[in-house]
């Protein structure tokens, strides 16, 4: 699921009309917010999904069809991708509880941790912070760097590398140049 790049409020409002399983994309345009608008203008985005998320959404569609059939007249159609067993929208605490249970996560886990992990992994793989901010729908890359990027920050090596080049004994620099050439 694209929960790594999508806020839980956006996931709760996601409808099947905004999911294109053939193209492997979702369009995030509205969350479950009092005003019915996205958190920031940059939050409105269409995201390409990894294959694992597309497969998970196909499975979700099949599960939901079974639930719809089982619920019969109790089903309330809202077109939601993530709906209760009778088709209604999730309350935030119920979504967290059900996701924790399905994923086998501890009781203290919160959805923001998926976004934090996504940002950290993208950063570790060398994706520029501006691109990560765009993917996460952050208004500024500062939010991405200060609030979301954790633990996997690459070690900044530039200073050490330059200082080693400057202060390396001349003989080692010559041998290194000879060996490299």
Of the three residues 65, 91, 107, the one that is the final residue of a domain is: 107
pLDDT at 150: 62
> Cα 103–116–20 angle (5° rounding)?
65
* 81 and 119 within one domain: no
148 annotated active-site: yes
> Do 52 and 128 reside in the same domain of the chain?
no
Of 18, 39, 44, 68, which is the active-site residue? 39
Q: DSSP letters of 124-163?
A: HTT--HHHHHHHHT-SSHHHIIIII--S-PPP--HHHHHH
- pLDDT in the model for residue 21: 95
User: Which of 12, 30, 45, 148 does the annotation list as catalytic?
Assistant: 148
The 10 Å CB-count burial string (b at 16+, else e) for 46-74 is ebebeeebbeebeebeeebeeebeeeeee
Q: What is the pLDDT of residue 174?
A: 58
Do 43 and 118 share a domain, yes or no? no
CB of 26 closer than 8 Å to CB of 47: yes
Active site residue 115: yes
Domain boundary among 80, 107, 134: 107
Residues 98 and 139 in one domain: no
Same domain, 123 and 98: no
Question: Does 95 share its domain with 10?
Answer: yes
Q: Report pLDDT digits (tens) over 77-135.
A: 999 999 999 999 988 888 778 778 877 777 777 777 777 888 888 888 888 988 988 88
Q: In this model, does residue 62 exceed pLDDT 60?
A: yes
Same domain, 144 and 97: no
Q: Quick one: pLDDT at residue 176?
A: 56
Same domain, 75 and 89: yes
91 and 136 within one domain: no
pLDDT value of position 19: 94
Q: Are 119 and 100 in a shared domain?
A: no
Residues 11 and 37 in one domain: yes
Is residue 7 annotated as part of the catalytic site, yes or no? yes
Tally of domains in the chain:
2
Q: pLDDT tens digits, residue range 137-177?
A: 888 888 888 777 765 455 677 888 888 888 886 655 555 55
8 and 58 belong to one structural domain: yes
Tell me the angle at which helices 129-136 and 112-124 cross, rounded to the nearest 10 degrees: 150
Residue 3 to residue 107: CA distance in whole angstroms: 18
For residue 87, the enclosing domain spans 2-107
What is the Cβ-side half-sphere exposure of residue 150, based on CA atoms within 13 angstroms? Answer: 9
- Options 5, 30, 45, 115, the catalytic residue: 115
pLDDT in tens, 117-129: 888 888 888 889 8
Rg (CA), the chain: 22
Of 7, 12, 30, 45, which one is the catalytic site residue? 7
Choose the final residue of a domain: 107, 130, 164. Answer: 107
Q: Is 90 a catalytic residue?
A: no
pLDDT for the residue numbered 87: 95
Predicted local distance difference test score (pLDDT) of residue 170: 66
Rounded to whole angstroms, the Cα distance separating 99 from 165 reads 51
Q: Point out the catalytic residue in the list 5, 30, 45, 138.
A: 138
């Amino acid at each position: 699921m694209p929960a790594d790049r999508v806020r839980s409020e956006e996931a709760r409002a996601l409808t099947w009309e905004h999911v294109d399983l053939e193209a492997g994309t979702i369009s995030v345009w509205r969350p479950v917010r009092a005003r019915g608008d996205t958190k920031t203008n940059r939050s409105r985005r269409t995201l390409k999904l990894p294959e694992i998320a597309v497969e998970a959404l196909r499975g979700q569609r099949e599960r939901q069809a079974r639930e719809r059939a089982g619920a019969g007249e109790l089903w309330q159609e809202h077109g939601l991708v993530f709906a209760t067993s009778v088709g209604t929208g999730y309350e935030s605490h119920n979504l967290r509880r059900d996701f924790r249970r399905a994923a086998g996560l501890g009781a203290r886990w919160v959805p923001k941790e998926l976004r934090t992990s996504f940002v950290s992994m993208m950063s570790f793989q060398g994706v520029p912070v501006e691109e990560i901010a765009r993917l996460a729908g952050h208004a500024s890359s500062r939010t991405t760097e200060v609030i979301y990027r954790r633990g996997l920050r690459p070690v900044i090596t530039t200073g050490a590398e330059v200082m080693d080049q400057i202060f390396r004994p001349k003989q080692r620099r010559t041998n290194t140049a000879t060996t490299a050439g």
